[in-house]
Amino acid sequence: MSPEAWTDERLESFDGVALRTRHHGLRTDKPVLVLVPPLATTPAFLQRAADHLATHFAVVSWEPRLFLQSDEVLPDASMLTLDALVRDLECVVDRLALKRINLVGYCSGASAALHMAAASDRVDRIALVNGAYFLSPADCELTAYERDTYELAPLIASGRPQATAIFDMLSRQGVRQQNRHHEFEADIQQTYAHPESLYRFGLGLNELLCSDVKRAATRTNAPTLVLSSEPDAITHWSSSALIASLIPDSETAIAPVGDHYEFCRAEPALLGRLDTFFGRG
């Protein structure tokens, strides 16, 4: 699918924040899939998956508010609350005149998608892919990334001076160099490009850490597909299994192979599961 087939559009959210959206196929009769991206990423991160899904569905994605716009003033940390992220979905749905939607949440976007689904009556089906739910260590096993997040996110979110100090520490430890050969380096490193972006990322992560995602799962009534893989070094598969057990109508697929970025690569097996679950339009 050619890049020209996609429409980039800025929509104003409930509080005046501009949301950078990307969509395709909205003037067709295809079912609508809304991609809920990870915090501090742009639609380009999931573009390969979006291109595949747009073959059979109308697809909408957007850049989560203000995380990467370090040059735009953030007057109040409340602008990055989980409630604001959930209300952004409502605004995207309303501004694009979408009647019914399906949600696909990936990584931290899976946690956000659960809260969005629990708050909306317009969601037909949900897929959660390699979800970062940040459950308590008492609930399930954690990866090293999840343990680091539990330790660092509250500190980063506590204020800009602390975020800057941690930014300097990560720079000295060579976090940017460690990922220089990663195929998604440009997307991953956006968070660590500026102390302000790291601060805002910390605010968003801390919101997810403090949220009651298990309650959101129990309140999600739409049929839900939960996908994960045992070798995922970013989000532990046991958290996906636990979340799936709490959703009233769910099916789970924990693959014995694969990593955290299969969705970003649009791996055929994983995308095929989504095509089947959502009915291939």
Average pLDDT over residues 75-86: 93
3-state DSSP assignment of residue 221: coil
Closest of 73, 33, 40, 19 to residue 207, by C-alpha: 40
Average pLDDT over residues 37-63: 95
Global pTM?
0.94
| pLDDT tens digits along 116-143 | 999 999 999 999 999 999 999 999 999 9
Q: Is residue 248 over pLDDT 70?
A: yes
Q: Which phi and psi (to 5°) does residue 208 adopt?
A: -70, -40
Torsion of CA 258, 45, 242, 225, to 10 degrees: -90
Average pLDDT over residues 149-156: 96
Residues β-bridged to residue 9: 21
Round to whole Å and give the CA distance between 31 and 157.
38
User: Domains of the chain (ranges plus CATH)?
Assistant: 3-136+211-277 (3.40.50.1820)
